């Protein structure tokens, strides 16, 4: 029997009606039976300060624990000024510290994103993929999910009603499940 895969969903936005959190909620309902998605909020994560690494702030310690426990990570990123929002980068930085104790190492990760602009976070996702290199994560390459003009696809109640995006999201989650299982079958060095 296949075991249940736990996925930690992280939305790079604190906005109450965030399109990216809406994408994660949609992912929660569209995930294959063998996958469970929990959403991790970033509200309690302080601004990074190297003076506060020892001990780590409790909210960071908790987030690191949730990353370590998860089989895979799903990041829904907005795009701010052609890049990753500070709130997301800040959480990524905290959870990579202290040096040598990153929680991200070796984790399978998928990235999705929604923006009000036409390019649907293409530039932010590209930057995030560059960050995955130094974090030594294992990103899923395809399918890419770039939800442009998000207000036309996600309604005022936060429901993703665009059928094409829902289908793509379903495909991405299936592929992430397979990717995660394949990686966990590879003996670790």
Ligand X SMILES: Cc1cc2nc3c(=O)[nH]c(=O)nc-3n(C[C@H](O)[C@H](O)[C@H](O)COP(=O)(O)O)c2cc1C
- Residue ranges that bind ligand X, judged by CB under 6 A: 13, 15, 18-20, 78-82, 115-117, 119
Least distance to ligand X, CB of residue 116, Å: 4
Residue 120: which region, alpha, beta or left (left: phi > 0; alpha: psi -120 to 50)? left
Q: How far is the CB of 18 from ligand X (least distance, A)?
A: 3
Closest approach of ligand X to the CB of residue 9, in Å = 13
Closest to ligand X by CB, 33 vs 43, is 43
Query: What phi and psi, each to the nearest 5 degrees, are found at residue 174?
Result: -60, -45
Instruction: Determine the angle formed by the axes of helices 122-135 and 86-95, rounding to 10 degrees.
Output: 10
Q: Smallest distance from the beta carbon of 83 to ligand X, in angstroms?
A: 7
> How many CB atoms lie under 10 A from the CB of residue 162?
18
- The nearer residue to ligand X, 5 or 111, going by C-beta atoms, is 111
The total of other beta-carbon atoms located within 10 Å of residue 69's CB is: 11
Q: Which is nearer to ligand X, 2 or 82 (CB)?
A: 82
CB atoms under 10 Å from CB of 33, counted, come to 8
Q: Is 19 or 179 the residue whose CB approaches ligand X more closely?
A: 19
């Amino acid at each position: 029997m296949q075991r249940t895969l736990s996925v930690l969903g992280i939305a790079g936005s604190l906005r109450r009606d965030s399109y990216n959190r809406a994408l994660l909620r949609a992912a929660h309902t569209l995930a294959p039976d063998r996958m469970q998605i929990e959403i991790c909020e970033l509200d309690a994560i302080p601004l990074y300060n190297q003076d506060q690494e020892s001990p780590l702030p409790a909210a960071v310690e908790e987030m690191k624990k949730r990353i370590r426990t998860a089989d895979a990570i799903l990041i829904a990123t907005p795009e701010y000024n052609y890049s990753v929002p500070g709130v997301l980068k800040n959480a990524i930085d905290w959870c990579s510290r202290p040096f040598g104790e990153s929680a991200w190492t070796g984790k399978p990760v998928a990235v999705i994103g929604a923006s009000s602009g036409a390019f649907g976070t293409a530039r932010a996702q590209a930057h995030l993929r560059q960050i995955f290199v130094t974090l030594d994560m294992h990103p899923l390459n395809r399918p890419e999910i770039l939800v442009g003009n998000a207000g036309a696809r996600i309604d005022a109640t936060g429901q993703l009603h665009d059928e094409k995006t829902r289908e793509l999201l379903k495909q991405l989650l299936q592929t992430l499940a397979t990717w995660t299982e394949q990686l966990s079958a590879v003996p670790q060095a």
